[in-house]
Chain A
């Protein structure tokens, strides 16, 4: 099998990730709910994971990192907790449904900007946008966008599901970050989180046991407890810690360099083929390791099926939960096939995928 669906989930993880999850399953008690060694072991490792994540993004305080089950949950909590009906909110057509649907649900006054040339309406309170498109691999200049927001008093919420661990992400890129653990951070599914830069008055959208203030009728509003009601996924979080440690050890720049080289090699191998249409800015100086395309006489699902059935190549066909960008690119009916590369993919896999596409083209003529 050649796994090229890493923008969905990285399948190959550093071995210490699974080892950590197994260790945690056997040794962790309930974190924050006791002082026995098993409980404290879990609590301490959750804290250590916060510190690793904070280190990766350059946050001073590990407690500015709260864990959730996914970037989607993070975005729901942040958008649901901050954005009120009627608030003027900017976003982009690049967004995943995990951004769009919570925004629609909020009842805000939503409008769309070009992330490369933003034109903010007067009265805008929030910008919620992705750092990198899960569909095309195009990247937003988040530092510049954030500076623009700061000058206008706009709170910027950045979806870093596709970028954290894959390209450099830093605290000067937004006010609030929503991340996932199972993609570029090589953690288990069911992990993700929120990183805040400053204090925000979130409305309570999730409440329950938090290990403190048992007899109070309200939920504490402090980070990170505010977002972590109920028993956290300490097993997964410990696995995530090992994934983030791996990223910190190898270095995001080196990971990005390797993944970009693979994606570029793949693109170079097929770009001359007239039957292929590529999507996104392929001339950009920096991109995510994502190549999305269509072949002239095939739908995306046809091509993905042939790649899997005939060659064992895993890709992602269809809409990629990015409805507005598909609409803009006129690919609602046929979708696209997305090839997304990881640090653990190899040059040989790229060569075999290029060969497979050429063979499919010949057979479908």
Chain B
């Protein structure tokens, strides 16, 4: 069982989050690495707003002093033997990459000129 994270669960944001605006959905899309079409944005504003309103039910629960659930207690999780294994052959891994040259994954330019 671990201690609760430093951020304390609050309800203020839930209580006011009854609707999403188009600019908010655009901001989420940027964070998620997605681009939205105009028609898709309008639909998502409506659908995500409905879902967020439904999720607001969680604000009604008193969770003070309740620890987060964990799947398996760490004391029971097994450790595997500290033995080096054979790595997958590089050529087989590269076979699944979209753009490869000379045994390397080719990436798009990531430094702006």
Answer yes or no: do A and B interact: no
Residues in chain A within 8 A of chain B (CB atoms): none
